[in-house]
Structure 1
Amino acid sequence: MRTTAGVLVGALAAGAVAFTAPAVADDRQRGTERGRIVAVQPLRTLTTKDDVARVLAAAEFKTDEVRYGVDTYQLIYRTVDPAGQPTVASGLVALPRGGARELTTVSYTHGTEINRTDAPSMWRDGWAVGPALTYASAGFAAVAPDYLGLGLGPGPHPFLDVPSETTAALDLLRAAREFVPRAGHTLDRKVLVTGFSQGGTAATGLARALAGGADGWFRLGALSPIAGAYDARRELLPSLDDIPPPFNSGYTGYLLVSWNRLHHIYDKPGDVFQVDGIEQLFDGVHTGQDFFETLPPSLDLLLTERGRALIDNPTGPFAAALAVHDATCTGWTPRVPVRLVVSGGDEQIRPGHATACAAAFATRGVRAPIVDVGDLVYEGSTHNGANILGTAATVKWFMTINGS
């Protein structure tokens, strides 16, 4: 999660995002609608590889594998909400200017954002688009979903809801396959899956879906999530007190508010929060500056006794939702190369997350090495630096796997 203040523009500032998917008659028809394009908006064209390198360098992303200029597009497409009802979402598609006509796709799922304008397809800054530009400029088709409720999709965002992260990512792949022939390319069946932080778990969720045949065309080609929170109950919740403010209160508030909307884990905010106005912070419009001004520096000042007990000893619907979130590395057998990327000095995601994921894969006979890419501080956070170093390491690995 970043805490830089977002800038609202146009209809977003007026709260007037009004995309509405038409009603569908049954599940069979809904299945045919998912992934269909609603609208395409060309974004920036970076004509040469030097143009790409300048944008990446400004955001401190590495430029070692930049080979092509990049065309970028915002796609609005049909998907489903957490209840399985029709909705729309937006996402970024980045394509190399040159290279092969048939492209292998990299799916990148992004880390935690609170303001909808910070989503990849909104291109508010280089951080949001850095991974997609990295993969596209190396010769891949890069696909980066905004998730539900961020970008131009109707909100609020269902934070850390792996099922809807998975459907949003899968349906953007389908939309991208429909779109890329218009830009002179086609997509092969292989998808190389990666993501950072929140997106690390979204990546393992998408990989599991692809490996299970969730799509009739795309197939999992490799998996390389970065600094993912794969074991929220045993690793993330016990570490929240040790995460620097305001991220400690921010993650806790975001999780409880979002999951209450989905699973009804409390009746009213005062049951779990001592501070007024917490729920309003997570509407997709508030900014990092609002967080600094509203969130207390510790969980003891944020939570009531009941809220604290929920974090310390999850029960009921909260425990059930955690079990779903924490199952992305369990119960399936990757038959493709897998590795788990971490930063040893990460102040937000403990190494136990990757250890737990690797152990789960090991029970299925799958070796998933943990790759420590080292430490880099970006905007005051080694966790953020993991995205930069992890993206650089992952693009090199994907190029090796792809024979590029």
Structure 2
Amino acid sequence: MSGVAPGTPPATTAAGTRRMVGSVLAVLLIVLASACGTSRDDGDPAARRGEVVSVTALSTMTDAETAAYLGERQLETPVRNGVETYRIVYRTVGPLGEETTASGLMVLPRTETERLRVVSYAHGTVVRKDEAPSADGETDRARAIMFAAVGNAAVAPDYLGLGEGPGRHPYAHAPTEASASLDLLRAARDAAADRGRTLESDVYIVGFSQGGQAATALGRELHDNPGTGFRVAALSAISGPYAIREAQTPAALDGGVSPRSAVVYLAYWLTAMNPIYGLYDHPTEAFRQPYADRVESLFDGYHDVLSVGTGLPATPAELLTDRFLAWARQPTGPALRAVTESDGTCEWTTDAPVRLYVSTADRSVAAANTDHCLRSLRGPRVERVDLSPMDHGATGRAGLVQTLAWFDQLVPVG
């Protein structure tokens, strides 16, 4: 029986004191570390980039259903498996570095393979939010499914302001095309892991039209920031506006681009860049009447391309004021900053294989864009692929089918 009377605390030894103090300090350190981590995440949008907000299952198709789906959309490409499609809403950053959300499509192959090669597909110009790949944009959803139907995982960013993304779309703004694309890769990696799949770190990047610019922007982002956890495995860019100042805008003003396409491009770009760079205080500074009164509402994300086209004039000279026509040819101040920050997506060096697809008959995106990119993008495996004379939409269809085969030649899936 102990000699300590009931209710008397036991004597505290030196060793016991050290253990008790150590335990208290450990608890305090854990609490402080947790508090610091919470504060950092709350104050720094970059710390939460790629965080999944929600994942919504969209469809599941067998291999036969997948083949029929692609065939209905004139995509006669190989089908080795069925697919599952998902919409991911995730955290990213806006044009000014502010926290925002964006949405994108993830397509997983219905196979037993746990580790998956990933293809990032960047879509072309759309004006309505619900035309994005994860919404009702069946054309671009089918193109992502095409890559998953041969065993890849495929992701397709909607870009900011499209799909489920809030606000207006910053059209052809390369910095946010890159950040939204990268952050979808991060979100998809986590979403796929929750479904028992692992996305490889080597990314096969492809994009058409606006997506050509977005694809090269993502490639440069991964090259310039090796700590992202992703690397460029191969890059295919099809008919992209890589040189807004040196190629696309001059062609839009001089007839190299069809006038109707030029009008939509110029109006979309100016109204998208104005909130970021402050190009004008009132639309009448940039646009002639009666278009000044309606041009911004046409690009609110809820008008289709037919409504946009009928609401605008036939030529750039009828659309823009004399001051803005001159500014388009010789940009200065905020206009120069706007084009400079989105040009340059080809100004990097890579050992990865790169193909730039182009048709000299394209009247929507000038072939001079590709010439400019070829002079800027340095690497032993960078090549130009000339498509036969065809219109802009046809370059997308032809280039994507060729890219699918090329990616499979580089490293066959499975």
Bucket of the pairwise TM-score, normalised by the shorter protein: 0.7 to 0.9
Where does residue 372 of structure 1 map in the other structure?
Answer: 386
1:303-342 matches, cutoff 5 A: 303-330=320-347, 332-342=348-358
Candidates 95, 108, 111, aligned match of 1:98 = 111
What is the Cα deviation at residue 109 of structure 1?
0.9
Return closer, same or farther for 1:402/1:153 CA change in 2, 3 Å cut-off. same
Query: Partners in 1 of 2:373 and 2:310 — Cα distance?
Result: 36
Deviations 1:342-373 (A, max 9, x none): 233211122211111111124xx544211123
What is the Cα deviation at residue 40 of structure 1?
0.7
- Counterpart contact for 1:71–1:96, Cα < 8 Å: yes
Where does residue 368 of structure 2 map in the other structure?
Answer: 352
Where does residue 16 of structure 2 map in the other structure?
Answer: none
**TM-score scaled to structure 2, two decimals?**
0.85
1:285 is the counterpart of 2:299: no
Candidates 66, 85, 88, aligned match of 2:79 = 66
Give 3-state SS (helix, strand or coil) of 2:134's partner.
helix
Query: Partners in 1 of 2:407 and 2:141 — Cα distance?
Result: 18
- Counterpart contact for 1:107–1:192, Cα < 8 Å: yes
Deviations 1:286-311 (A, max 9, x none): 11221132111111111111121122
Tell me the amino acid that sits aligned with residue 157 of structure 1.
H
1:108 is the counterpart of 2:124: no
% same residue: 40
Where does residue 244 of structure 1 map in the other structure?
Answer: 258
Return closer, same or farther for 1:389/1:88 CA change in 2, 3 Å cut-off. same
1:150 is the counterpart of 2:162: yes
- Counterpart contact for 2:244–2:339, Cα < 8 Å: yes
Tell me the amino acid that sits aligned with residue 339 of structure 2.
L
- Counterpart contact for 1:111–1:198, Cα < 8 Å: yes
Tell me the amino acid that sits aligned with residue 370 of structure 1.
R
What is the Cα deviation at residue 61 of structure 1?
2.4
Structure 2: gaps (5+ residues): 1-37
Where does residue 179 of structure 2 map in the other structure?
Answer: 167
Tell me the amino acid that sits aligned with residue 348 of structure 1.
S
Where does residue 269 of structure 2 map in the other structure?
Answer: 255
Where does residue 18 of structure 1 map in the other structure?
Answer: none
1:384 is the counterpart of 2:393: yes
Return closer, same or farther for 1:319/1:204 CA change in 2, 3 Å cut-off. same
- Counterpart contact for 2:104–2:157, Cα < 8 Å: yes
Deviations 1:9-31 (A, max 9, x none): xxxxxxxxxxxxxx975698533
Where does residue 244 of structure 2 map in the other structure?
Answer: 232
Give 3-state SS (helix, strand or coil) of 1:280's partner.
helix
Query: Partners in 1 of 2:227 and 2:149 — Cα distance?
Result: 26
Where does residue 118 of structure 1 map in the other structure?
Answer: 131
- Counterpart contact for 1:358–1:367, Cα < 8 Å: no
1:80 is the counterpart of 2:93: yes
Where does residue 35 of structure 1 map in the other structure?
Answer: 50
- Counterpart contact for 1:109–1:145, Cα < 8 Å: yes
Candidates 261, 278, 292, aligned match of 1:264 = 278
Give 3-state SS (helix, strand or coil) of 1:121's partner.
coil
What is the Cα deviation at residue 128 of structure 1?
2.2
Query: Partners in 1 of 2:105 and 2:399 — Cα distance?
Result: 20
- Counterpart contact for 2:222–2:228, Cα < 8 Å: no
Return closer, same or farther for 1:39/1:278 CA change in 2, 3 Å cut-off. same
Query: Partners in 1 of 2:42 and 2:328 — Cα distance?
Result: 37
What is the Cα deviation at residue 101 of structure 1?
1.6
Query: Partners in 2 of 1:369 and 1:28 — Cα distance?
Result: 44
- Counterpart contact for 2:351–2:381, Cα < 8 Å: no
Where does residue 8 of structure 2 map in the other structure?
Answer: none
Candidates 213, 220, 225, aligned match of 1:208 = 220
Greater relative contact order (Cα < 8 A, sep 6+): 1
Deviations 1:254-295 (A, max 9, x none): 111111111011121001101221011111111122113211
- Counterpart contact for 2:46–2:92, Cα < 8 Å: no
Query: Partners in 2 of 1:316 and 1:90 — Cα distance?
Result: 33
- Counterpart contact for 1:192–1:220, Cα < 8 Å: yes
- Counterpart contact for 1:106–1:142, Cα < 8 Å: yes
Candidates 396, 399, 403, aligned match of 2:408 = 399
Greater share of residues in helix: 2
Where does residue 231 of structure 2 map in the other structure?
Answer: 219
Comparing 145-154 with 314-323, greater Cα deviation is found at 314-323
Give 3-state SS (helix, strand or coil) of 1:61's partner.
coil
Where does residue 131 of structure 1 map in the other structure?
Answer: 143
Query: Partners in 2 of 1:145 and 1:92 — Cα distance?
Result: 6
Return closer, same or farther for 1:53/1:398 CA change in 2, 3 Å cut-off. same
Query: Partners in 2 of 1:75 and 1:308 — Cα distance?
Result: 40
Tell me the amino acid that sits aligned with residue 311 of structure 1.
A
Let me know the Cα RMSD of the aligned residues: 1.8
Give 3-state SS (helix, strand or coil) of 2:382's partner.
coil
Structure 1: gaps (5+ residues): 1-22, 377-381
Deviations 1:27-67 (A, max 9, x none): 9853331111101111121212x32222222222232x221
Give 3-state SS (helix, strand or coil) of 2:194's partner.
helix
Tell me the amino acid that sits aligned with residue 264 of structure 1.
G
Where does residue 189 of structure 2 map in the other structure?
Answer: 177
Tell me the amino acid that sits aligned with residue 360 of structure 1.
S
Aligned residues: 371
What is the Cα deviation at residue 223 of structure 1?
0.9
